[in-house]
Amino acid sequence: MNWNDLRYFVVLAAEGTLSGAARRLKKDHTTVARRIEALEQDLNSKLFDRLATGWTLTEAGENLVPVATKIEEDVLAFERQAHGDETAYGVVRISVPPAAGRLLFAPRLAEVLKDQKHLQYEILASSIVANLARREADVAVRMVQPDQNGLVVRKLTHLRMGIYACRGYCEQTPPDEWEFCSEERNSRGEWQQAWVWKKLGRQLPVRVRADDTETVRSFIVAGYGLGILPRYIGDEDKRLELVLRDDDCEISRPVWMVVHPDIRRSPAVRIVMDALVRATENINPEFKHGF
């Protein structure tokens, strides 16, 4: 039996569809189906019922899920431990929000590559939180406090925020016609919006709700209305003007660095962690505050 087929089994059992499993595994759906069929042949047991709405576990499949999950966890722990014992060679997977990764951390990480000729990065620039236990990433930078147990967490800084508009918008648009572009990824977005209403003394119409900072900036630049942006983005964009700064840091955004304890002593991972810390130290003081 190919032990790697167990991973396909565990993911498909969790996702319930070939397309969902394929996206998570970063494979095409035919590969997923082929690996499951191979596993069923090796075990001489049918694990899924193929339905129009998805793949449903059979009774035999249900019984094997906890066993397969435990085996997968043991294999992943083995890989993490082996990775942690390596020298400063190989690939380090880094999960970081797109805008922060490009503007704050990429320059410093690039400097490291000049000195470490055998080091490679796999940058996962996405708002989706990577699962470190499954080695979807080795090191993660997150804008929300990690809630998964067993991870090594370090707060890097708080990023200052501000209310921005396209240059000339506030002069050309009567205040009673102002609108707001909202970033609503989680409860923090709702809190920030409530802060805007408090500062302005009124609520603004919201006809655009986005789940990422770059979309908010694009709408503001296009002259749609006001929006909240990190200062490191808004102040550097000459097309924008700062309408109101958060001097009391009420809506500042914390930045966390997270690593799995099994690999934090890996030379390659430690080099990346040090680079992220140094990049944070080099952020313009106007764009961050202490904690």
Q: How far is CA 194 from the centre of its chain?
A: 25
Same domain, yes or no, for 64 and 13?
Answer: yes
- Phi and psi dihedrals of 193, rounded to 5? -65, -40
Residues 261 and 153 both lie in one domain: yes
- 215-226 pLDDT tens trace: 999 999 999 999
Residue 27 has pLDDT above 80, yes or no: yes
> What is the model's pTM?
0.66
Question: Given 83, 114, 132, which residue is the final one in a domain?
Answer: 83
Q: What is the pLDDT of residues 245-266, one digit of tens each?
A: 988 888 888 999 999 888 877 8
d(CA 139, CA 170): 41
Residue 291 lies in a domain: no
- For 40, the domain range is 5-83
Nearest to 271 by CA among 109, 144, 152: 109
Q: What's the mean pLDDT in 42-60?
A: 89
Strand pairing class (161-166; 226-230): antiparallel
**Pair type for strands 180-183 and 206-210:** parallel
Q: Is residue 150 part of a domain?
A: yes
Count how many domains the chain has. Answer: 3
pLDDT of residue 244: 92
pLDDT in tens, 113-137: 887 888 889 898 766 667 777 778 8
Token pair 């998570």: residue: 24
What integer pLDDT is reported at residue 186 of this predicted model? 55
* Nearest alpha carbon to residue 161 among 101, 231, 100: 231
State the chain's mean pLDDT as an integer: 85
CATH code, 127: 3.40.190.10
233-241 mean pLDDT: 95
pLDDT of residue 185: 60
**Per-residue model confidence as pLDDT tens digits over 167-217:** 999 999 999 999 999 987 655 667 888 899 999 999 999 999 988 889 999
Residue 187 has what pLDDT? 57
pLDDT by residue (tens digit) across 57-109? 999 989 888 888 887 777 666 665 555 544 456 788 999 988 888 899 999 99
Q: What's residue 157's pLDDT?
A: 92
Q: What is the pLDDT of residues 2-25, one digit of tens each?
A: 767 888 888 888 888 888 888 888
pLDDT at position 221: 96
User: SS3 for 263?
Assistant: coil
| Integer Cα distance of 125 and 157 in angstroms | 19
Give the pLDDT of residue 161: 93
* CATH code of the domain in which 215 resides: 3.40.190.290
DSSP 3-state percent helix, strand, coil across the chain (nearest 5):
45, 25, 30
Residue 266 lies in a domain: yes
